[in-house]
Structures are given as C-alpha cells and as structure tokens.
Amino acid sequence: MQTPATADRILDAVGIGAGPFNLGFAALADNVPGLDILVLEAAPELAWHPGMMLEGTHLQVPFMADLVTLADPANRHSFLNFLKESGRIYPFYIREDFYALRAEYNNYLRWAAERLASVRFGQRVVGASFEAGVYTLDVEHDGGTSQVRTRRLVLGTGTTPEVPAAARHAVAATGAEGAAGTAPLVHSSAYRGHREALRSRRRLAVVGSGQSAAEVFADLLGGLGDDQELVWITRSPRFFPLEYTKLTLEMTSPEYIDHFHSLPQDRRDRLNATQKALFKGINADLVNGIHEMLYRRSVEGAPPVRLLAATSLESLEQEDGHWQLGLRNQDDGGPQVIEVDAAVLATGYSYREPDFLAGIADRLQRLPDGRLDVDRDYSVGVCGDILVQNAELHTHGFTAPDLGMGAYRNSVIINRITGVEHYSVERRIAFQEFGTPADPSNPSPTPSTTPLQEATA
C-alpha cells in the first residue's frame, strides 16, 4: 500500500480526484521537468461512470479529446498510443469512427493511470489547513492517516448525482444507489448494477432528458416485453438532440470562454439556462435509433410506451409497493398521476464542494451568492494557488464539463503553476467572433495560436 507522501516533502501541486481532468493534469505534468505533483483519489481504483457502462455506448466527442492530444499530440499518454500498445490501432483505423466506445475509453483511462507514478488511489483527503504558504492535507488510506504538504491544490473532485426536489425525500429514505423493497428507485449513475431488477418490473419510468436518460430508455425498450409498460418523462419542451454543427462547436474555444467570463454573473446564468442543448442534449443517432425501435414495434400494434415531454415531476410517493408519480404538463398546466413499479432518475449531476475545503475557507474567493469565484485561468484561491477542474460552469460556461477542453485547461493550469509556457495555448481558433472586439476598428478575424499572457504572470 502506498502512502501519498511524507510530511517533510513540499509538493508543487496536489490534484484531488482522479477523473479524466486530473488524470490529464498528471499526464501533461509528467512531461514537465522538475514539476513535483501528486493526484490523490479516494476510490480504490479507476471507474469512469460504471453505472452507465452499457454495451455499444460511445463518447460524444472525438477520440482526440483524450487526456493530452490537443495540448501535446506527441505525448506518450495519448489514446492513439494506448491503441498501439494494446494492439488495437489498426482495428480502430479500419473502423473509421472518431468516437471511441465508452468501455474502450475507460480502459484507456485505466492504462494511463497505471503508467503515472503521481496518481495514487485509495487516498481520501479529509482535512486541509494552510500556514506560511503551504497547504497541509490530512489523507486517509488503508494504513491509517498521513499528511501531504503542497504549495497549490488542483480540485478535480467531480460532480455528484442530482435528484429533483420532488424525489429527494424518497432518495434520502432509500439511497441514490437504488431503493430497497419492492419498488426500485435508482439514479442513472447506478443503473447498470440494478439493470436486471429493473427489467423484471412490469411498469417502468425514466425521468430526465439528456444522453443518460435516452441510453437508459433505449436499453429498457430493447428488452421490453409485450406485458410491460415504459414511460419517458422530461420537463424539457422536447427530446432535444445535442447541437453539434461546426459553428456551434466553435463555441468550445478559448475566445468564447474569454467572452463568457467577461460577462456579468446574471448574464452568465441566463446564458447557461439557454445553452443546455450544447452539452446536455442527446446524440442525434440515438434519437433516431429510438424512433426506429418504436416504429418497428408499432408494425404489430402500438408499443406499450409513452413519451411525455414538457412534463415535470411534482411528487414521488411510495404506496403499496409502487411509486406514484405526480406530474404536471408545462404547457397547459394539467396534472396527472402515473403508477409504476420502478423508476430511473436520469436527472444529471451537479458540483458540490468537498467537505475538506471548510478548513481553508478563508483561502477561497466567492461570488456574492456564495458560489466559487473562478478567475479566467481557473483559480479560486486568493493568491491563485487553488485551481479547479469542472467546477466553473457558472463562470466559464458549458466548456467546463467538455472533455475536449480538458487538455486546454490543464495547459493553462500547468503554465500558471510553473510560470513558464510549457504548453502553447491557443487564443483564437474560431472563424466567428464573440462579443465586441477590444478595438472595433482593428478586429482579429482569423484563428491564431499565441500563449495566454496571464499564464506566465
């Protein structure tokens, strides 16, 4: 069993959480001479969304959105190098599909984690303090508790399952990992472990509108018997596809982040509310595939399926071994009640601050409403020494959870930590412009690659 570090060693940075973003941080830091870091993960091993590891599902971004390629194409921790070392690069080439299978991407993350000596699993950070320019972390592991000292923190603790307000009491009573008793209630994050139990129920409901909801619905629909019923409920006005046209993709760019970050917070919040289709929609092929499944079943009669858009979940109560779902149509205001034997809440994820931040609360910058005030180059620390990964949706927009922007963000973070431009950082990649140019008489109309000046400040 590895202990994280000795207390007399002062690291340059410690990443907390070993999801794709902090794995990318470790992978890019691996090529920076003299940069002394660790990445600590509470889980005993890497498991990337295991509850949604369904057969045939794939990423919604091209394989180049791996840990390193968009920052350092020759990096040995790339997805293509993983394929080469795994003997799979030619099958992947012949497949002619930019979108890696989700299981394959998970294997890639495991491969990268095993090669990175700086990544340690089974290490839970439970406390933090700051004194004389150094953070001290209390870390629990199988061997007890030890301390790690570092000059900077990189928070990559990820997001947690989000539950609708109407269902929180039920989830609190039964647990988000799956309800006990005769009527399963499961968040999609735990779907695979409860798949067979769900499939055995006669009346099923899926609540949610994004990719996970569609994948769960398609999976249940594929095994639905003639004597079963399935309903898909979303409060969104339609089952909307992920917006993936080229000019929209240009919004996942440094200059759009510049523009978004420059706006007042109330405007950022309004934009985020209108841009969900840019990062929470359903893959168009899956939408069409679901329609094809329904169409084929309809040849022999109406399928035992209901799709309810613009419908909100108002209440969720267990009664006589069943779930009573109180619903309301968002267009006409009409109520209805549906009784089911099991339900899957595919209602997404949200960021929650880790508890150990309480010990260094005075080191954090906050907005007036209490949310983290993340500066343009991803710091929430009063001295720029606490950086975040995927905790900045409210300040940087929908690029925050995008795997394709992970290598860019880590380039900015590493340049900021070291004060040296180890990785060149694009300033402009889009053909379009966002916001009013600083000099309207001399706008820059073409993409260019120049370093972020702030990264070396």
Rounded CA separation 78/83 (Å): 9
| Lookup: tokens for 407 | 């290598």
Pairing, β 134-141 against β 144-150: antiparallel
In residues, how long is the chain?
457
The H or E element that residue 20 is part of is helix 20-29
Report whether pLDDT(236) > 50: yes
pLDDT confidence of residue 6: 60
pLDDT 10s digits, 400-417? 999 999 999 999 999 999
pTM, 2 dp:
0.92
| Lookup: tokens for 48 | 């990337």
Question: Sign of the C-alpha dihedral, residues 115, 116, 117, 121?
Answer: negative
Report whether pLDDT(139) > 60: yes
Report whether pLDDT(7) > 70: no
pLDDT confidence of residue 175: 57
> 163-242+280-347: same fold as 10-160+350-418?
yes
Query: How confident is residue 341, by pLDDT bands cut at 50, 70 and 90?
Result: very high
Domain boundaries, the chain: 10-160+350-418, 163-242+280-347
pLDDT 10s digits, 145-159? 999 999 999 999 989
pLDDT confidence of residue 347: 95
Q: Give the lowest-confidence range in 179-183, 271-275, 291-295.
A: 179-183
> Counting Cβ atoms within 10 Å, is residue 355 exposed (0-12), middle (13-18) or buried (19+)?
exposed
Report whether pLDDT(438) > 80: no
CA distances from 456 to 24, 25, 174, 417, 421 (A): 20, 18, 50, 9, 7
**Mean per-residue pLDDT for 372-397?**
97
Query: How confident is residue 1, by pLDDT bands cut at 50, 70 and 90?
Result: very low
Query: How confident is residue 181, by pLDDT bands cut at 50, 70 and 90?
Result: very low
pLDDT confidence of residue 457: 33
Report whether pLDDT(451) > 60: no
pLDDT 10s digits, 35-67? 999 999 999 999 999 999 999 999 999 999 999
Report whether pLDDT(367) > 80: yes
Rounded CA separation 23/271 (Å): 30
**Mean per-residue pLDDT for 338-347?**
96
Share of the chain above pLDDT 70, in %: 93
Report whether pLDDT(209) > 70: yes
DSSP sequence for 285-352: HHHHHHHHHHHHHHTTS--SEEEE-SEEEEEEEEETTEEEEEEEETTT--EEEEEESEEEE---EEE-
Query: How confident is residue 446, by pLDDT bands cut at 50, 70 and 90?
Result: low
pLDDT confidence of residue 430: 95
SS (H, E, C) 230-266: EEEECCCCCCCECCCCHHHHCCCCHHHHHHHHHCCHH
pLDDT confidence of residue 454: 40
Rounded CA separation 283/299 (Å): 25
Q: What are phi and psi of 130, to 5 degrees?
A: -140, 135
Query: How confident is residue 278, by pLDDT bands cut at 50, 70 and 90?
Result: confident
pLDDT confidence of residue 439: 77
Report whether pLDDT(178) > 90: no
Which residues contact residue 39 at a Cβ distance below 8 angstroms, ignoring those fewer than 6 apart? Answer: 14, 15, 16, 17, 18, 22, 23, 25, 26, 116, 118, 119, 120, 154, 156
The H or E element that residue 13 is part of is strand 13-16
Q: What is the CATH number of domain 163-242+280-347?
A: 3.50.50.60
Share of the chain above pLDDT 90, in %: 84
Report whether pLDDT(380) > 50: yes
**Mean per-residue pLDDT for 181-199?**
88
Q: What is the CATH number of domain 10-160+350-418?
A: 3.50.50.60
pLDDT confidence of residue 8: 76
